[in-house]
Chain A
């Protein structure tokens, strides 16, 4: 294990690199060194997985953390620096690494720290009527307070459009369909979209602050509610973080069952999304078929695990569900039938010229743009980026299962559809392996009574949309001091903003659906 540390230390040109636990490294650097270390990391092929700040109390002040993901040797490297109270600023890396753009502005909004040299220092998370000087994630900010509204305090700068026949189309926050709220501002010239600006964070619920207030065991339920369609993904990421923090080993059976749950979540979402893409091009028959398949899945999930959307199935230290032999076979039979029906569904779609005409070459996100923006998950794999934590940094039972990571090059709606379709095949194979090889034994390891004091750990899970990261830090008394939640949507929304211009406005719904990003996970 130390070999991996030495390799990474050498690549990053650091004098010291601590190995906190397998696959997790950390180093403190001087504030002014951050950009140079970022250059080293990016040059060595690491990618920025998340960026966040912490408030470590009045004595220590704040800290800024860059979390880099290395593929070979696999590991997450956290480069962090102190930000003293008398100088609340840090050097920005966003001009060079666009993935840091929203992250740094979020730190600015919620911690009041200034990203120096950031090319765009407008608010990203705070809305117009939020007053200046209320950094919500600082410790001095009381959770239960009503922050006054100051209308027009900080108007969001929408790009002006000028010229004949050129105009803006504002959409949202309340949309016409049954989807989450967010505001889109299109600049259009007739039908073609010139640009798309996103105004999100309408559903900011203060989740990261809430984690600090809830008992850590209850954080699991909060994690399930970060994004309703990723209950298992976020619960697993949080559970992994807490288990790594306490050093608890999850029993083998529980790891297999967790894999089953995560793949079922992937299945029902992918099937629903493929149907929704068909809906958005008005292809009703496959859309209805997909809805029926999805409903069949959530119904069997409810029967076997007690919850349609798999809530309350993951526990800290294991799982809270059991799968008897009979029920396991029932699930296997259902999945076999689903596999056959799903093949028919995909054939129905891609053999139809009227359908492929709408999805081919629509909403292209190029490989370089996807890499620069730090896009992850299905959107990344559809744009030619071969990333998947299930293979690259395996969690749960993935290290002992055989599967492929489908990658498409097109970057268009078709590619995102095909990544989903091929992942469904892989998921079915993973599920078959995990269910047939389900080990006997306990499905739960009890956790200690308290978390270790002044410690931190990272948990990750490759959920259906992409990687969910939870970084959990405790204070001197073992209470949760900070939970940084990174939903894949946060990195993928700018990718959508990039994929839409050049397409016609009526294609926006299908492009949006092909990404299917979470507003709630993004806004938290």
Chain B
């Protein structure tokens, strides 16, 4: 007993004062489109087809990057001959739709040389990506507004996301100080924190869990697989893909796995949605219906012969 007491006194407080102060050495890749020549080297090495090129016309080309699919493997950073992809340090990413996680640059192709030059952005990442830091501070300020009860549902994950979700409750991050609690039953839950990809064998269980949660309920999809199916693909015999293929999703938290900070951020965003939806007229703040986002692109089924040179 004495030893336990003295240990606790000696240890003191280990909880991080500001859980968003630490930055990872590598968050999501960031493309410097002005240096990019749309050469496709990064597309060839991307294991989840998060990077895609398209040729809408003979003299036009697009390069898109979806954080929903990105597993943060850093292959593209190393493969880029122009060094146009940087290891970004952004991590507290949480958006309301899959599209907001997508950015797309448009290029003009010179027919004589075949060289592509950047023209402009077709799509930019969603607002919460850029304003997340500002939003966060607001949320933390208002954190005593109410408490949030969270039911975690593993709908097919590899357990990586679960490890990081468990970490949010450890003494260092201590999500209980924000009024967030993990509960044992969906009937007690305001928020379902769902990891994916949703497997065929978990589809029914996930749907039932969703139906068991009382309204208003908020669904947070966690991880690349929960957002898009990730490396396991979308629409295979075993993996249905992202959580939004089965239940409506309010918040997307990408990453493989997302850091505990990012999960906390996603939960704070969910808290905001839950507060708004509990108020007057809140029922109108509905998430996108199931299947609204376009399915994840499927990679052509071919072996990559050498680094960056597909057949």
- The reply to whether A306 and B25 contact each other, CB–CB distance below 8 Å, is yes
- The reply to whether B238 and A209 contact each other, CB–CB distance below 8 Å, is yes
Point out the residue from A141, A202, A218 that lies within 8 Å of B205, measured CB to CB. A202
Q: In residues 149-193 of chain A, which contact B (Cβ within 8 Å)?
A: 173-174, 176-181
- The reply to whether A312 and B159 contact each other, CB–CB distance below 8 Å, is no
- With A222-B231, A449-B306: A348-B3 Cβ-Cβ less than 8 Å: yes
- The complex places the Cα of A176 from the Cα of B185 at a distance, in Å, of 6
- The reply to whether B238 and A478 contact each other, CB–CB distance below 8 Å, is no
- The complex places the Cα of A141 from the Cα of B73 at a distance, in Å, of 30
Q: In residues 227-249 of chain B, which contact A (Cβ within 8 Å)?
A: 230-233, 235-239
Q: In residues 123-151 of chain B, which contact A (Cβ within 8 Å)?
A: none
- The reply to whether B4 and A519 contact each other, CB–CB distance below 8 Å, is no
Point out the residue from B26, B170, B209 that lies within 8 Å of A307, measured CB to CB. B26
Point out the residue from B25, B156, B256 that lies within 8 Å of A311, measured CB to CB. B256
Task: List A contacts of B209 (CB < 8 A).
Answer: 174
Chain B CB within 8 A of A226 CB: yes
- With A221-B231, A311-B73: A205-B199 Cβ-Cβ less than 8 Å: yes
Q: Which residue of A lies closest to B162 (CB)?
A: A178
Q: How far in angstroms is the closest Cβ of chain B from A133?
A: 14
- The reply to whether A228 and B163 contact each other, CB–CB distance below 8 Å, is yes
Q: In residues 271-311 of chain B, which contact A (Cβ within 8 Å)?
A: 298-299, 301-307
Task: List A contacts of B199 (CB < 8 A).
Answer: 202-205
Chain B CB within 8 A of A302 CB: yes
Stretch of A29-37, A284-292, A374-382, A400-408 that contacts chain B: A284-292
Chain A, interface size: which category? 35 or more
- The reply to whether A228 and B162 contact each other, CB–CB distance below 8 Å, is yes
Q: How far in angstroms is the closest Cβ of chain B from A307?
A: 7
Q: In residues 9-44 of chain B, which contact A (Cβ within 8 Å)?
A: 11, 14, 22, 24-26
Q: Which residue of A lies closest to B183 (CB)?
A: A176
Chain B CB within 8 A of A515 CB: no
- The reply to whether A225 and B160 contact each other, CB–CB distance below 8 Å, is yes
Chain A CB within 8 A of B161 CB: yes
Please, how many residues of chain B have a CB less than 8 angstroms from a CB on the other chain? Answer: 70
Task: List A contacts of B74 (CB < 8 A).
Answer: 306, 312, 320
- The reply to whether A226 and B158 contact each other, CB–CB distance below 8 Å, is yes
- The complex places the Cα of A326 from the Cα of B154 at a distance, in Å, of 40
Q: How far in angstroms is the closest Cβ of chain B from A35?
A: 32
- The complex places the Cα of A285 from the Cα of B4 at a distance, in Å, of 7
Task: List A contacts of B201 (CB < 8 A).
Answer: 127, 201-204
- The complex places the Cα of A351 from the Cα of B307 at a distance, in Å, of 55
Chain B CB within 8 A of A479 CB: yes
- With A229-B160, A312-B72: A450-B237 Cβ-Cβ less than 8 Å: no
Task: List B contacts of A147 (CB < 8 A).
Answer: 200, 237
Q: Which residue of B lies closest to A275 (CB)?
A: B170
Point out the residue from A173, A206, A227, A348 that lies within 8 Å of B158, measured CB to CB. A227
Point out the residue from B48, B72, B166, B301 that lies within 8 Å of A178, measured CB to CB. B166
- Name 26 interchain pairs, CB-CB below 8 A, sorted by A: A144-B237, A146-B237, A180-B159, A203-B201, A204-B199, A205-B197, A205-B199, A206-B232, A206-B236, A218-B231, A221-B47, A221-B71, A221-B73, A225-B256, A228-B160, A229-B159, A289-B7, A291-B172, A292-B14, A295-B167, A299-B22, A303-B25, A306-B24, A306-B25, A311-B71, A520-B158
